[in-house]
Structure formats: structure tokens, C-alpha cells
Amino acid sequence: MAAVAVNGAKLGTASQAYLESRAVSDTKVLISDLCRQFYNLGWVSGTGGSITIKVHDDSVPKPQQLVVMSPSGVQKERMLPEDMYVLSPNGSILCTPSPKPYPHKPPKCSDCGPLFMKAYEMRNAGAVIHSHGIESCLVTMINPLAKEFRITHMEMIKGIQGHGYYDELVVPIIENTAYEYELTESLAKAIEAYPKTTAVLVRNHGIYIWGDSWISAKTQAECYHYLFDAAIKLNQLGLDPSTPIHGPIQNVKGVLGSGIHRNISVKAGTAASDNKSGPSQRCIVLDIEGTTTPISFVTDVLFPYARNNVGRHLSATYDTAETQDDIKLLCSQVQDDLEKGVFGSVPIPLDDVGKEEVIAALVANVESMIKADRKITALKQLQGHIWRTGYEKNELEGVVFEDVPEALKKWHDSGIKVYIYSSGSRLAQRLIFGNSNYGDLREYLSGFFDTTVGNKRESSSYAEIVQSVGVDKPSQVLFVTDVFQEAVAAKEAGLEVIVSIRPGNGPLPENHGFRTINSFAEI
């Protein structure tokens, strides 16, 4: 076989061997097998849909690996390995399948090609699946105005990279076009706008799903289709898949509410029972991020500081009892992550291999946890200790909105106890309020709660807080948050709830049914 041009240069002997390697042949066989399976699942019927996989070779970095892609316009369940295209890392065709006799059409590279390459380029994917499964099509049609699919508290969410049972799964929806390649720009924008997503839905069409390997992509595709089917069936039963208890879809002024039936925009704050009087509560519990403090302070200041100082902190404090406790907790979490196949987890070696190797593995795991914004105690505890050093060195200063200090003082002086409940550790919470841009505000706070009382999206966590603050009934506690799922969980526990609208906060579901405020002065 002659040398083949890739990226303007000819493949050398090693690359030519790679092109003719067993790995490429095995990948072709794998794709033909998967397409038969996907056909039986209804994902690639009528010649629609496609799959592409990078050819794994330990000696070749993933961005430089060859790509094998199923062809367009062919019967997917009858494809053979020799029917596959082989592409260079930048998408140029290296190998084209031979034509077949009538009634077969001439071979054609999939129109999905540019979209697949975007997932490879922007997410360093190892495989991408394009499915026409009916669930992925119907779920985009229930509300023709929705720009996202949302679901929470379903076991199969755990099969989606970076998600757990309590998390809300959000999948962006883009509009279909006459030709598939025309979707490339909108898909790229969706990938950029939703850094946590591993899929993009195309209305009235299907879905693109990627993973770091073909196993990851296939597993997630199965979970996505299951969740779409579950959401459709819940909706048919009048139940809301986007709330933790999946209760009846609420009807606000004749409009179906917080579930998929979101088709009329209701101005934020028009709750079914809009309580605008002063607080009758004995206690107020405040979220931090997006409520007392700008989200940007956490994402642009605290998280980068922790990420950039993990190695330095662990090296400087490695032998202390506190850091050894942090490491023990991290090791336990990483072991659990490895057993569950959590993306980004790497094994942590034993101490006898040397401190540097242990720290390097810890840093890799922590960086992955921070990138995924995981709400786990092991991460939050270590972050708190790193931030403490930053505050002590005057490298960090806590930030709260300008209305917060006056409100805290007012509530404190009137005898209302104020508590903080955040996914950040209690230490991290005390550091923000003890070193804020308005001075030490801790004198106005009665206590701090973190995820040791439970997940913030579970009603049992708020029931636990109610027991701790010593009120007669849950309605004597007011909870203020910017997160819809937290508001729902607190309301289920019987607390009064207000949703905080601050600059930089994410959008709320339409018809959410909660009172909203832009400043604590409104409480």
C-alpha cells in the first residue's frame, strides 16, 4: 500500500503500519457488530444513524489516533468490516470502501462526519454514536420550545459520565436542519455552552452521544435512551421527571408546570402562593453560591485556587495528621470511583512507592473531581484546608453581595437565627464569612451545615436541619437558594422557600411556583 497523505504530510512507516494494523481491522469488525446491535434496538433503522470509533493504540496520543466510521445510506445491520471508512485525525479520508453491485449505492462517507469530528476535537472523545432512536426524537417534541431536556433522581443517571443519582441531568436541544452537516455549528455551540454534557439532542431527529471509549459511549447511549423513555412515560402519566419525587405536574393558572409540559413562559416570582410579607420564621437557612455570594467567586476564584495549589499543599503538609486524614478520605473515594468506572479516576499507589507518586495521583483525581464539580466530602474537606491557607496568606478574600451584611445584622438583631447550608465544607463556609469583603460576618450566624447532613437535593437533609435548629415545625424555617432542585427538596420537607435571583445564576424552569427575590432587602 502506498503512503497516504495526512494533514498535508505523508504517513511514515510506523503510521502506515498503524493504518494496516490489527487495531484498525478489529475496530472495523467492532463497528459492524455494534451497528447490528443498534439496528435491533431501533437506533439506526432505515440506514439512518451512525457510529465512529478512534483506533486505540497505546503508542499514539488520542488526538492523533485514526478514526473508523460507518458509511452513510447503507443497511447498518448488513454492514461488513470492509464497508468502513478510515479517516485521519483531522477528518480527511484515508481509506474508502469498494463499491458493491446493484442494488447497493456507491459508498458515501457519513454526513455526520463534521459533527463527529467536533466531539473528538472539543471533548477528546474516543467514540461518538449518532442514534435515531424514537425516544430521543419524541422527547424533543413534547415541548417544541424547550431548549433542554431535564431529569433527576433516576438510577440510570449514574450511567452518565460525571453524574450521580441526586444530580439533575441536563441535555441541550438544538434545532434540526435539512442536511446533517448544517448542524455542525449549533452542535459546537451546545458543546461549549454545556461543559458537563456528553450528548446533544436534535429536535425531531435524534441524538449525538460521545465517551472516552466505545464502551463509555455505548453505555451512556443505553442510559440516555432509557431516561428518555422513562421521561416520556412519566409525562404520559402526568408526572414530572424533573423533580426529585416525580410528583404530579403542577398546573399554574391553567398552564402545566415544572415538568416537560413547559410551553408558556410565566414571569419569575409568580408563585401560586406569593408570600410577600415579612418573615414569620424563627430561623433562616441560606445557601452560599448564587445566594449570598456570586457564582463567579466560586468558579473563577476558589476552584482555580484549589486546583492550582493541590500539589503544593499536599507536599508542604503531607506528614501532618490533618492531611493524612484528607488523603485517607480521598483514597476511599477514589477506590469507590474506580469500582464504579467514574471518568477521570486513576489508581492511587501505596505509600511505599514514594510521596511524589502518591501526590501526583491525588492531584490527577482532585483535578478531575473539581472539573466535574462533584459534591463529595473528600473533595470539599481538602478544598477547605487549601483555601484556609489562601486566606491566611491574604491570597483570598471572601465575597458576598452588598445587601448581605445589612440583612444578616437586621435578622440577628431581631432574634432570627441564621444558618448556612452549602455543599462546601463548614470550614470553607466559615472562611468566606470570616474573611469577607465586608469584614467578619460570623457574629451574625448561628451555625453551618454541609453535606454531612445529606445531599442538598434530598428532602431528608432539610428534615435533619429542622431537627438541629430546634423549631417546633418545619414551616418556621425559611430556606433561600438559587437551585430549583434544592428548593423542591426543602419544600417537600415542609420548609418555607424563596429562590434567589442573582447576576450570573442559571435559569429557572418555567412555572417553577416559588417566590423569587433579587436582594435580601426583599425578605
Q: Active-site positions?
A: 155
Contact partners, residue 215, CB within 8 Å, separation at least 6: none
Contact by Cβ (8 Å): 500, 517: yes
CA distance 96 to 82: 9
Asked if residue 458 belongs to a known ligand binding site, the reply is no
Question: Phi/psi at 91 (nearest 5 deg)?
Answer: 100, 0
Helix, strand or coil for residue 456? coil
Would the annotation count 296 as a binding residue?
no
Whether 319 has a binding-site annotation, put simply, is no
Calculate the CA dihedral of residues 27, 32, 36, 41 and round it to 10 degrees: 40
Flag whether 482 is marked binding: yes
For residue 513 the three cell numbers come to: 411556583
Residue 287 annotated as lining a ligand binding site: yes
Q: Contacts for 145-148 with beta carbons within 8 Å, 24 or more apart?
A: 145/262, 145/263, 146/173, 146/260, 146/262, 147/172, 147/173, 148/172, 148/173
Neighbours of 351 (CB within 10 A): 12
Q: Which of 461, 518, 464, 522 is nearest to 487 (CA)?
A: 461
Query: Which helix (H) or strand (E) covers residue 199, if one does?
Result: strand 199-202
428, three cell numbers: 470553607
Residues 441, 431: Cα–Cα separation, whole Å: 10
Spatial distance between the Cα atoms of 255 and 22, rounded to a whole number of angstroms? 59
14: enclosing H helix or E strand = helix 13-19
What is the distance between the alpha carbons of residues 401 and 382, in angstroms, rounded to a whole number? Answer: 26
Q: All 3 cell numbers of residue 59?
A: 503508542
Q: Is 422 annotated as a binding residue?
A: yes
Q: Is 456 marked as binding a ligand?
A: yes
How does DSSP assign 392-442, residue by residue? Answer: HTTS--B---TTHHHHHHHHHHTT-EEEEE-SS-HHHHHHHHHTBTTB--G
Where residue 444 falls (left for φ over 0; alpha for ψ -120 to 50; beta otherwise) is alpha
Amino acid at site 211: G
Cα–Cα distance, 342 to 377 (Å, whole number): 16
Residues in the annotated binding site for substrate? 112, 422-423, 456
Residues in the annotated binding site for Zn(2+)? 130, 132, 205
Residues in the annotated binding site for Mg(2+)? 287, 289, 482
Residues in the annotated binding site? 112, 130, 132, 205, 287, 289, 422-423, 456, 482
